[in-house]
Structure 1
């Protein structure tokens, strides 16, 4: 029995939830995948999968075996990728997590360039603003902004993103243009951001000539997703303090107008973070270097 191929087939069946889909991914006949699983179960002398005509589920033994072997296979493929990197050909799966706006407006549009350089890599990109457990969620690295609170992680700074305050022309025609941050608390409403899980709202702060002001403006809508924050603002739901690279296309088109230009907030630092107890694989290394280059090219360093 080709033990490694059988284990890979088992993992793929679990992840795909289907022998047919696993066979397609592995580019093997379905009967071959089935035979691999049968041989593996015979070798281990346990039943790994419960099979019905409609679904496949793990047995208790299968769950324990999957959780351990998926890490073993990852490390095996990582070792192969590291060797391949000597020939500038890293390959395998790279698991990354990043915020929705970072993904949709910055990283994903530039991804064809990364694919041309490293066509043998496969990226699984989790898109969310929620905190991620690198080990528990089996993620290789995450891109996050702001202050990093976990000293056990390794972080490399990619750049920084400036903030801007803006609203739609229609909103400003109805409510007037704020000239000072305190005006936002008088007859205005803001589109606010809250953190998933805690529901704590992100503070709205402004700085000018060493003076720092925290604004507690009214809001009709608060969201926990950066793209939704922008959508609500474009719908005329209020004034927003957001990242310049998000707002820039709409400021250029005239869909939004910048206000409080003399007041700002320190740029938001952006980091790529990975766990220190894992060897930095070739897959992660080339992705980090590409991100640094991407931020430099966008003038965000």
Structure 2
């Protein structure tokens, strides 16, 4: 028995929901499809499928084996693509994970360009600020901000994101405009806390060699970047927002910059992926594409065009 072919047939049977449809999709005799799956079950000594006259259902062991087969077959395909002319036109499913704020502000508006270049790639984008286990959850690539832990993942630095301190016109009209970071202690701020540790992040400020770290008072703390933006727009308090998110809101008058003479520490952003993905053509082209998006951003501290 060709084990790899049997795995491909098994995956197709599960995806198609039956032997007949799978045989049609694979252009194989139904008897061959059935024989290959039976041979796989005998070799594994487990039952992968429940068969009735009307339908085929995957067993619990079969479901677990199916997930492994999908990953193995994907790895085989990517290995072949990385060493063939197909690397110029990568294809297949790309599972990524990115924060909601970065997805909304940078990736989604530019994705039509990516799909125009690589029409055969399907992107499954998980959005959220919760750290994910790439290997456990089957994620090909994650885009993460901040200092990376020593995780054994491959990381490529994409660029830096600047932050700006701002508030809604309604908040400023009601509470006034702070003129110094220490004034924030008499204001309401919206804090952000880590989804992993629960730690609330302090705010940092720098000007003319002076550096301040402020534990801002807040009646609200959140752990999602989109909710954080909404809280600032609603007037729930002063916020520190990424400029890629804040710039269009500032231009439309929905939010105003405060403490413009004080800068904050830029945040490094990395693409991280498991070591077995470093030869993947689809991962490579996506990382290159995102890196180009960061190159197009103004450098921290430089005026915007």
TM-score where L is the length of structure 2:
0.83
- 1:94-133 mapped onto 2 (5 Å cutoff): 94-133=94-133
C-alpha separation in 2, matches of 1:200 and 1:142: 22
- 1:267-286 mapped onto 2 (5 Å cutoff): 267-286=266-285
1:17-43 Cα deviation digits (max 9, x unpaired)? x728xx6xx89669x999787444412
Q: How far off is 1:13 after superposition? A: 6.5
Does structure 2 conserve the Cα–Cα contact (< 8 Å) formed by 1:85 and 1:282? no
1:116-151 Cα deviation digits (max 9, x unpaired)? 111111212211212222222222221111111226
1:91 aligns with 2:91: yes
Specify the SS of the correspondent of 1:119.
Answer: coil
1:181 aligns with 2:199: no
CA distance 1:36–1:159, change in 2 (3 Å): farther
Q: How many residues of Structure 1 are paired with residues of Structure 2 in the alignment?
A: 293
Does structure 1 conserve the Cα–Cα contact (< 8 Å) formed by 2:98 and 2:127? yes
1:242 aligns with 2:241: yes
The match for 1:290 is: 289
Does structure 2 conserve the Cα–Cα contact (< 8 Å) formed by 1:84 and 1:91? no
Moved over 6 A (4+): 32-37, 51-55
Q: Which runs of 5 or more structure 1 residues have no equivalent in the other structure?
A: none
- 1:217-232 mapped onto 2 (5 Å cutoff): 217-232=216-231
RMSD: 3.1
- 1:122-271 mapped onto 2 (5 Å cutoff): 122-150=122-150, 152-186=152-186, 188-271=187-270
C-alpha separation in 1, matches of 2:218 and 2:85: 51
1:94-120 Cα deviation digits (max 9, x unpaired)? 221111111121012111111111111
Does structure 2 conserve the Cα–Cα contact (< 8 Å) formed by 1:129 and 1:224? yes
Q: How far off is 1:235 after superposition? A: 0.7
C-alpha separation in 1, matches of 2:87 and 2:232: 48
C-alpha separation in 1, matches of 2:217 and 2:79: 54
C-alpha separation in 2, matches of 1:221 and 1:27: 57
Q: Equivalent of 1:42, from 38, 41, 44?
A: 38
TM-score where L is the length of structure 1:
0.84
Q: How far off is 1:189 after superposition? A: 0.8
Q: How far off is 1:256 after superposition? A: 0.6
CA distance 1:2–1:182, change in 2 (3 Å): same
Specify the SS of the correspondent of 1:158.
Answer: strand
Does structure 2 conserve the Cα–Cα contact (< 8 Å) formed by 1:134 and 1:141? yes
Q: How far off is 1:290 after superposition? A: 1.3
Does structure 2 conserve the Cα–Cα contact (< 8 Å) formed by 1:81 and 1:283? no
The worse-fitting range, judged by mean Cα deviation, of 173-182 and 205-214 is 205-214
The match for 2:17 is: 19
CA distance 1:43–1:217, change in 2 (3 Å): same
CA distance 1:159–1:222, change in 2 (3 Å): same
C-alpha separation in 1, matches of 2:66 and 2:246: 44
